[in-house]
Homo-oligomer: A and B are copies of this chain.
């Protein structure tokens, strides 16, 4: 294949050190030889060996991204945002998907301890209760950034949306539309986003003087069929809700599936609002779905920018322990509005 630095140097009758410096545009090398070197490098199609470089410089120009799901526009869009920024700075992205499995997440994170990546940006799995693996990583000084599903206890930078406010506003909207029995759908009680969204939901009910009915707070699994069954059951029961705040997009889709098997009508009998990533799909559902959408690409870009800062500026301090909020937007569609 290609030549290496030594061969290139031999061809030029120069030492490897000089060639290396010429290619790295060092001040120690004269303009004339720089040009010669660059020309010959191009001619012989010289490509520096990334591993030799990484070994020497102790950095990989690689960022690891860990997400719970790939088939999910939310996370896909964040990764796009990260790539948009980091690629422009010559960084590569190792992308890992945990499939919402903590054990897998732990394995991946442990694998990353060896320095294969210069930093990690992660949104944790929904089963996460023990985050010792991430703690260890952070304690070792490994640059770590969270987004969306964060670990609040780990003192580093986190990007989230205004979960509390969005859930509050969303619930308020349902109440304004006349809902009295509002259900809350979630994936895992342990998730940071769940907790915040639940607080928002709860406070909105409180404010309206509505009693929270714990039997209307449902936790779902990764099994779509099973979730649809649970929802059907709920909708056929006595204490059927007249409104739903879904904290996860796919639970809204499961609800639509479940409703198809009942005689209920959205929005007449049941109104639903959901955190949801894909507005095209939301508008095409029948009825179109009222959504809370997060600027996911923006979140990805912010993660990327922060890390580029941290990794390229020398003597950069640790990633500050702060939670940055990028607000979501509520789009009211037919699923909450009676015509």
Contacts and interface: CB of A to CB of B under 8 A. Distances in A.
A245 to B, nearest CB: 19
B96 A284 contact: no
Interface string A68-108: 00111100110110010001000011111101000000000
A117 to B, nearest CB: 9
A80 B76 contact: no
Nearest to A83: B97
A11 interface: no
A220 interface: no
A25 to B, nearest CB: 19
Nearest to A252: B284
B60 A71 contact: no
Given A97-B83, A253-B281, A113 B47 contact: yes
Given A55-B55, A76-B71, A2 B113 contact: yes
Interface in A111-159: 111, 113-116, 140-141
A115 B286 contact: no
* Chain A interface category by residue count: 35 or more
Nearest to A77: B71
Given A1-B141, A51-B60, A257-B280, A92 B94 contact: yes
A20 to B, nearest CB: 15
B70 A92 contact: no
A51 B47 contact: no
Contacts of A79: 70, 95, 97
Centre residue among A77, A92, A93 by max chain B CB count within 10 A: A92
Contacts of A222: none
Nearest to A71: B76
Contacts of A114: 2, 47-50
21 contacts: A1-B140, A49-B114, A50-B114, A50-B116, A62-B94, A70-B77, A70-B80, A71-B278, A76-B76, A79-B95, A83-B96, A92-B111, A92-B116, A93-B96, A94-B95, A224-B280, A253-B280, A253-B284, A257-B280, A285-B285, A286-B286
Which 3 A-B pairs give the minimum distances between C-beta atoms?
A286-B286, A47-B114, A51-B54
